């Protein structure tokens, strides 16, 4: 097939020539890399990637096509995609569309034929940086000018761009969770479902599926929902979702989390929700050099009563909490990332509140971290029984 030319230009002036797939046009965003060997559809539709151009280090993209079940939101959230090789004729029993046609339908610009190994090494050495893909601006200097004019990810509140515009109750049918969990007596004796209010900073659908699979009624609310409105649902627990951008810029979410601390209700945070919780407890956050984005990030339990268990986790974030900033707070660091010793989990010293930097719903390990949903459900059930 005849392939249209495309170029990728990074903020440092590096130029990569390749071919276009997906939509035509120009995309500017922060260029990052994901080391997962599977799950490209989940990555593309994860709201945590809003504002970013994702480099896939696995050399083949599109082999299994696109299906209706693996969407983490209602559309691709990435600014663009970068690949080595692209398959136009997928082979999988669930496939309903090729990746090329899917990206084209959703107006997502992508480039193939790139040495993604060399590109990833550059991003690891110099750090994640802005870049641009274009099928229409083939003069590198012209595209570079647009890249340099784009805002940095630091300071951006992107949660406000991906949050739900309305309150809704998650209703999608899901698999039963009990094969991973032994129901406690507190849970099995409840006469009505536990109600979880999920604050949507860019929530992944599979998180909602996992909560429902444990028997919860899940009400999803926009990121700017007031405390009074949240309490109207009489929640048994609050969930702080994942999402994109700089956590320190989500000032409304941080203030909401501070107010929630006074309710003595179980709170569970994942990814951006974990960072927002840490900031509400007096911590600071910082931008990582190139972030953690992949399916095999090792974390280790740090609690004094633990056996220092190691979990293989799925992660997707470019910011992290400063562990030293939490030393005089009510937060206890429960897990660390073994690759760089950054904070991977925390809990409140006296309240039923905890969070993790990684994604337990993404089935790494494959179920190393699913117990976190169990712990949240048990905490809500025990609190209701008090």
Residues with a catalytic annotation lie at 271, 359, 361
Query: Quick one: the chain helix, strand, coil %, rounded to 5?
Result: 25, 30, 40
Task: Name the DSSP class of 66.
Answer: B
Alpha-carbon distance 76 to 340, whole Å? 30
Strands 129-134 and 85-86: unpaired
Alpha-carbon distance 311 to 357, whole Å? 13
Token pair belonging to 103: 């990206």
Q: Please check whether residue 270 is in contact with residue 74, taking contact to mean a CB–CB distance below 8 angstroms.
A: no
What is the torsional sign of CA 178, 385, 372, 234? Answer: positive
Alpha-carbon distance 285 to 154, whole Å? 11
Alpha-carbon distance 120 to 102, whole Å? 25
Q: Please check whether residue 348 is in contact with residue 281, taking contact to mean a CB–CB distance below 8 angstroms.
A: yes
Burial 361-373 (b: 16+ CB within 10 A, else e): bbbbeeebbbebb
Which SS3 state, helix, strand or coil, does residue 210 take? helix
Smallest CA-to-CA distance from 265 within 236, 244, 293 is with 236
Alpha-carbon distance 257 to 45, whole Å? 26
What residues contact residue 313 under an 8 Å CB cut-off, 6+ apart?
Answer: 297, 298, 299, 344, 356, 358, 359, 360, 364, 365, 368, 369
Q: Please check whether residue 271 is in contact with residue 242, taking contact to mean a CB–CB distance below 8 angstroms.
A: yes
């Amino acid at each position: 097939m005849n392939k249209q030319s495309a170029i990728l230009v990074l903020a440092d002036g590096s130029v990569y020539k390749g071919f276009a797939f997906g939509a035509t046009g120009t995309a500017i965003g922060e260029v990052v890399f994901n080391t997962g060997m599977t799950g490209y559809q989940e990555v593309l539709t994860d709201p945590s990637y809003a504002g970013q151009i994702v480099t896939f280090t696995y050399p083949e993209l599109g082999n299994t096509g696109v299906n209706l079940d693996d969407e983490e939101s209602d559309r691709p959230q990435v600014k663009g995609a970068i690949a080595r090789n692209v398959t136009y004729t997928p082979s999988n029993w669930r496939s309903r569309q090729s990746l090329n046609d899917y990206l084209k339908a959703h107006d997502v610009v992508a480039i193939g034929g790139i040495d993604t190994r060399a590109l990833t090494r550059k991003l690891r050495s110099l750090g994640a940086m802005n870049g641009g893909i274009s099928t229409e601006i083939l003069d590198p200097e012209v595209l570079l000018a647009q890249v340099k004019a784009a805002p940095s990810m630091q300071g951006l509140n992107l949660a406000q761009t991906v949050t739900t515009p309305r309150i809704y109750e998650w209703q999608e049918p899901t698999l039963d969770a009990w094969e991973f969990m032994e129901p406690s007596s507190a849970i099995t004796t409840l006469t009505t479902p536990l109600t979880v209010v999920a604050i949507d900073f860019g929530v992944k659908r599979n998180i909602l599926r996992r909560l429902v699979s444990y028997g919860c009624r899940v009400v999803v609310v926009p990121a700017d929902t007031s405390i009074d409105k949240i309490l109207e649902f009489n929640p048994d627990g609050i969930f702080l979702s994942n999402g994109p951008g700089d956590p320190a810029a989500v000032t409304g979410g941080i203030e909401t989390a501070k107010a929630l601390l006074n309710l003595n209700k179980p709170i569970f945070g994942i990814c951006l929700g974990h960072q927002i919780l840490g900031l509400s407890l007096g911590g600071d956050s910082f931008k990582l050099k190139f972030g953690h984005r992949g399916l095999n990030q090792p974390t280790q339990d740090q609690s004094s009563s633990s056996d220092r268990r190691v979990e293989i986790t799925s992660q997707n974030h470019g910011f992290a909490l400063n562990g030293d900033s939490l030393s005089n707070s009510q937060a206890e660091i429960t897990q660390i990332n073994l690759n760089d010793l950054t904070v991977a989990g925390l809990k409140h010293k006296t309240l039923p509140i905890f969070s993790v930097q990684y994604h337990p719903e993404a089935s790494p390990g494959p179920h190393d971290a699913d117990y976190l949903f169990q712990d949240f459900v048990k905490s809500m059930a025990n609190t209701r029984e008090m």
